[in-house]
Amino acid sequence: MTLASAQGYDNLIMIIVLSRDASSHNKEIVKSYLKDNGFSVREQIFGDDLLLCASGKTTADVRELTLLPGVERVASTSKPYQLASRETQAADTIASVGGVQIGGARISVIAGPCAVESKTQIMESAACVRESGAVILRGGAYKPRTSPYAFQGLGMEGLEYMKAAGEAYGMPIVTEVVSPEFVEAMKDLVDAYQIGARNMQNFELLKKVGATGKPVLLKRGPSATIEEWLLAAEYLLAAGTKDVILCERGIRTFETYTRNTLDISAIPVMKGLSHLPIIVDPSHAVGIRNLVPKTALAAIAAGCDGLTVEVHPNPEKAFSDGPQSLYPEQFERLMRDIEVLAPVVCKELLRTPKKPAAAQNNKGLDGKWAQAFSLVMEKVVFCGENGAYSEQALNRAFGENCSRLPVKSFPAIFDAILGGEATFGVIPVENSLTGSIHENYDLFIRYPDVVIVGEIKMRIVHCLITTEDATFETIKTVRSHPQGFAQCKEFLDEHPGWRPETWNNTAAAVHSIAETARSGKPDVTLAAIASETAAKVHGLKALKTGIETNPLNYTRFVIAARNEGGKALVPDGLAGQKPTKASLVFSVKDKPGILYTCLQILNNHGLNLAKLESRPIVGQPWNYMFYVDITMPDEKQNMDAALSDLSKQAESLHFLGAYRAA
Ligand code: PEP
Ligand code: MN
């Protein structure tokens, strides 16, 4: 453990997280231990946790501290921003703003006008940004303007309009608070406070806002260093809020062409230094409308968790920041581009299901389908364990808070859905490098009462994961799921001496290696192929990342549910949205031209083929079954008629489900 005197901070900070059932007696013992070791101790409430923050120019035995009764976890840092530091909390914070989450594997977009100008204007703005997929509404009711003669905002009246717009369109609202005196009055109207760039170091404001415990969007000051910005976040965290979202909005440099200079590298820097989510405001960063979309995409590529973008229904008439406000159609285009770019950086654009506000979920879930399914959702089953790719897909679809059931095999997923232990299942069916996962197609046929109700596509980046001291030279055995081996074939071919060992799933392979480290005898001859998340979960090292044969490596997962009397649990797709895709499996008799006849039936009914794949039927040499995905027609009757005609020609026909394409 080193002291960070090089940075001018001699103090070592130990953060001791007490377990929820720790007694006050336990707490006093820990405090005395720390004091006896030369630390000064402060109690800190942090969300639902009670922490002891010990500070001193000394060290303590972490193992001994961890063993004291009532201690859940011990972390240490030499950074002055102790609560914000990645060293004291390795896992990303996922902030929740009125039930919408920011952080993790999602990209959350906040949008709206610079200022609330009238009830009509904020209603129109809310309607259009939501239509394009924004999940939180922004707008200033109190405006900190450079000139005292410029529009200062509508104040509380504006805030009332904004709340009404947020409620009408099912979006939480975020708005700037400019003075400590307004904090209390705004509290019940806003879902998140925004601390503006000019106020980043208004410490009295930070303390007052932080003490409300409400989420805060903290803009970076125009001339603030990263460390000053993190210390401002620390004020909020120390005062009692856990949901702090950092916002890079450009800093002042010698360049004056753009309004500010977007510090794009602040994004990866912050990701390393802190667990807090970071979003980007491209509008105030560049100040010129046509530069906003490209800059926004660069920020997404750099790894930010979301954006806050100024959009105005009529930018020429805007009371403030019109020149940088996007036209609604520009915003729509930007959102479509983000949707395409997000999976490349292993994220997914969070979209609000288009549903009336009254039907919002009440379980704090925010995944792509969580709101749509919340009325029936209880548990989601996946194959694997903590850190598995399937679990990451589950998080994308249903949010990190969703309750989950890990099982050891694919058939167990189907059993859990049928048996009612889980309401939904997440099942991989196809990989862009290795093709369809036949076992799961077969299971859909074996379990006709389990149907597909949704899909999700996820980029798969594989890593070679080892214990700390392992090197390429020490490795003898590589463990993974057969899909992991298949997708990394070229890399493995370069190491012919390594022996592949098949495991049930990639995360289990990592787990088995972590066990050797935990037992005190880390085995440097072992490596696993799995995700970086799995490595983090088990505290192992990613010796090499990106070892898949081709970086365009995507896996398609489907969301399955039980068919209730001919209808799936969510028969109309997501949140009342019409299904856009359907999947079928059929087999044909060995008869000349029969496949042509079957495909012609689909064509005759105007159905577009999105996928056609054949595979031999096990036990019936030279007989084939076909996997077909079709684009759903506008008229459902066409689909029904096609299925009816097809069933007359095909030997067998299985309808796997109709759902909204990812
Ligand atoms: C705003 O977001 O409306 C705003 C005033 O931004 P900043 O504080 O970054 O200038
Ligand atoms: Mn503005």
- The string of pLDDT tens digits covering residues 72-84 is 999 999 899 999 9
C-alpha–C-alpha distance, residues 136 and 172, integer Å: 5
Give the pLDDT of residue 244: 98
Give the pLDDT of residue 569: 47
39, 46, 382, 557: which one is catalytic? 557
Kindly report the average pLDDT of the chain as a whole number: 90
Q: Which helix (H) or strand (E) holds 16?
A: strand 12-18
C-alpha–C-alpha distance, residues 444 and 587, integer Å: 14
> What is the mean predicted confidence (pLDDT) over 107-115?
97
Give the pLDDT of residue 565: 60
Give the pLDDT of residue 428: 96
Alpha helix ranges (H) inside 504-619: 506-518, 532-537, 594-604
Give the pLDDT of residue 364: 38
Q: Whose CA is nearest to atom 10 of ligand 1?
A: 197
| Residue of 305, 282, 302 lying closest to 292 (CA atoms) | 282
| Residue of 175, 81, 183 lying closest to 137 (CA atoms) | 175
Fold classification of 3-77 (topology level)? Alpha-Beta Plaits (3.30.70)
Q: What is the pLDDT of residues 585-636, one digit of tens each?
A: 998 877 788 888 998 998 888 888 888 988 888 788 778 889 999 988 777 7
> What is the mean predicted confidence (pLDDT) over 358-386?
59
Q: Tokens 């069916």 correspond to what residue? A: 429
Residues facing residue 660 across a β-bridge: 454
Burial of 88 (0-12, 13-18, 19+ CB in 10 A): buried
Residue 210 has pLDDT above 90, yes or no: yes
How remote is the CA of residue 122 from the centroid of ligand 2, in Å? 14
Decide if 203 is catalytic: no
Task: Write the class of the CATH domain 463-545.
Answer: alpha beta
How remote is the CA of residue 195 from the centroid of ligand 2, in Å? 13
**How many Cα atoms occupy the beta-carbon half-sphere of 148 within 13 Å?**
0
**How many Cα atoms occupy the beta-carbon half-sphere of 444 within 13 Å?**
26
Output phi, psi for 191, to 5 deg.
-95, -30
Percent of residues, the chain, with pLDDT higher than 70: 93
Q: In this structure, are residues 516 and 495 in contact, taking their beta carbons and an 8 Å threshold?
A: no
Q: Which amino acid is at 401?
A: N
> Is the Cβ atom of 140 under 6 angstroms away from ligand 1?
yes
Give the pLDDT of residue 377: 55
Residue 566: pLDDT band by 50, 70, 90 thresholds? low
Residue 9 has pLDDT above 50, yes or no: no
Residue 217 has pLDDT above 70, yes or no: yes
Residue 322 has pLDDT above 60, yes or no: yes
Choose which residue among 176, 190, 200 to substitute to test ligand 1 binding: the one with the highest number of ligand atoms within 8 A of its C-beta: 176
Q: In this structure, are residues 333 and 298 in contact, taking their beta carbons and an 8 Å threshold?
A: no
Contacting residues for 73 by C-beta, under 8 A, at least 6 apart: 16, 17, 66
Residue 367: pLDDT band by 50, 70, 90 thresholds? low
Residue 10 has pLDDT above 70, yes or no: no
77, 467, 506, 555: which one is catalytic? 555
| Tokens (6 digits) for 95 | 């902030």
Residue 97, helix vs strand vs coil:
strand
Q: What is the pLDDT of residues 484-526, one digit of tens each?
A: 999 999 999 999 999 999 998 899 999 999 999 988 899 999 9
> Is the Cβ atom of 605 under 6 angstroms away from ligand 1?
no
> What is the mean predicted confidence (pLDDT) over 433-458?
91
- Indicate whether this model's pTM tops 0.75: yes
Decide if 555 is catalytic: yes
SS3 track for 450-485: EEEEEEEEEECCCEEEECCCCCCCCCCEEEECHHHH
| Tokens (6 digits) for 207 | 């303390």
Q: Which ligand is nearest to the CA of 219?
A: 1
Give the pLDDT of residue 251: 98
> What is the mean predicted confidence (pLDDT) over 455-475?
95
Choose which residue among 219, 247, 324 to substitute to test ligand 1 binding: the one with the highest number of ligand atoms within 8 A of its C-beta: 219
The torsion defined by the Cα of 264, 266, 269 and 273, in degrees rounded to 10, comes to: -150
Q: In this structure, are residues 383 and 402 in contact, taking their beta carbons and an 8 Å threshold?
A: no
Q: Do domains 95-352 and 578-662 have the same CATH topology?
A: no
Residue 357: pLDDT band by 50, 70, 90 thresholds? very low
| Tokens (6 digits) for 646 | 């097809």
Q: Whose CA is nearest to atom 9 of ligand 1?
A: 197
Residue 362: pLDDT band by 50, 70, 90 thresholds? very low
Q: What is the pLDDT of residues 225-262, one digit of tens each?
A: 999 999 999 999 999 999 999 999 999 999 999 999 99
Q: Where are the domains of the chain?
A: 3-77, 95-352, 463-545, 578-662
Residue 113 has pLDDT above 80, yes or no: yes
C-alpha–C-alpha distance, residues 342 and 302, integer Å: 11
Give the pLDDT of residue 7: 42
Give the pLDDT of residue 567: 53
Ion ligand 2 residues within 5 Å by Cβ: 114, 321
Give the pLDDT of residue 155: 95
Q: Minimum mean pLDDT among 56-65, 149-158, 226-235, 336-345: which range?
A: 56-65
| Residue of 70, 80, 63, 82 lying closest to 27 (CA atoms) | 70
Give the pLDDT of residue 360: 39
- For the domain spanning 578-662, the CATH number is 3.30.70.260
C-alpha–C-alpha distance, residues 350 and 107, integer Å: 6
How remote is the CA of residue 94 from the centroid of ligand 1, in Å? 23
| Tokens (6 digits) for 447 | 């379990």
Give the pLDDT of residue 60: 81
Q: Whose CA is nearest to atom 4 of ligand 1?
A: 196
Q: What is the pLDDT of residues 151-179, one digit of tens each?
A: 999 999 999 999 999 999 999 999 999 99
Q: Whose CA is nearest to atom 5 of ligand 1?
A: 196
Residue 4 has pLDDT above 70, yes or no: no
- Ligand 1, residue 143: give the atom nearest the CA: 5
Q: Which ligand is nearest to the CA of 310?
A: 2
SS3 track for 155-209: CHHHHHHHHHHHHHHCCCEEEECCCHHHHHHHHCCCCEEEECHHHCCCHHHHHHH
Give the pLDDT of residue 607: 87
Give the pLDDT of residue 39: 93
| Tokens (6 digits) for 172 | 């939480």
∠ Cα 539 541 543 (to 5°): 165
Give the pLDDT of residue 590: 76
Q: Superfamily for 95-352? A: Aldolase class I (3.20.20.70)
